[in-house]
Amino acid sequence: MTNELNPRSVLLITLDSCRYDSFAAAKAPKMKSIGPLHQAMAPANFTYGSHASIFVGFTPGVPGVATPFVNPKFARIFKLAGSGFPGHSAPFISLEGRNIIDGFRRKGFAAIGSGAVGWFNPGTETGAVLTEGFEAFFYPGNVFSLDAQIAWIWDRIREHGQRPIFLFLNVGETHVPYFFKGADWNPGYNPCVPFGLNNDRVECQRRQIACIEYVDTQIAALLELFAEGTIVICADHGDCWGEDGVWEHGVSHHKVFEVPLLFRLGAI
């Protein structure tokens, strides 16, 4: 099906709560083949804030390096007209609109998306803010339904023929309690609870790495479909696993901000 996708298409994947060190340690050959792995800093410390930033062009980046797209302050992958510092180098793509979703639609792209975590529930007012610009959006209702998300995505892709697609996928398996269907642990026990008394750093790491490896197998065909297009993979934030006595995210700690970033830019 690769040849059926318009090569101008763009795939943006966020691995929710995925720590950089977990991703670096994971056996994830499909995702790691996209491009060099960068130890980036997220634009916010929780899902809503980070995605709101990413959706206006502020992707995770490596500060201080004069490298386009790796450092969005130097040059952005997605640049909205009139938004913030223009950068020292040309963006990958310039867009006009309320956010990049609106911007891609104005350029004739089909904008479809799916988000696993509760911030993407379109039935809530905050979820509606993040999802309203998509032509079609799927919220599965829990954080470990990647199989259902991908099945829904394939159906939507088939509807658009040769029209270029902007596809957004937020993956929940890497979010607490770090679980995927078929995993050998009970999701009822969450090893990473803010102020929790039964937390387990080793178990957090084991689980999140296993979840990344599961995700890699599940999205392999999707990555292949976009082989001639543009792919950006990152996390919206990480988690603390007891560093300085802190657990989970939503706090301004360097481990929460430290995330993986990979990308391959095609023709636009």
* Dist. CA 48–CA 120, nearest whole Å: 8
Give residue 180's pLDDT. 98
Q: How confident is the model at residue 88 (pLDDT cuts 50, 70, 90)?
A: confident
How many domains, the chain? 1
State the CATH number of the domain containing residue 8.
3.40.720.10
Residue 53 has pLDDT above 90, yes or no: yes
> Position of tokens 């083949």?
33
Give residue 87's pLDDT. 67
Give residue 1's pLDDT. 41
CA quadruple 40, 14, 118, 52: dihedral sign: positive
Number of C-beta neighbours around residue 64 at 10 A = 9
Structural domain harbouring 119: 2-264
Is 64:71 a contact under the CB 8 Å cutoff?
yes
The string of pLDDT tens digits covering residues 237-251 is 999 999 999 999 999
12, two tokens: 């943006």
Residue 84 has pLDDT above 80, yes or no: no
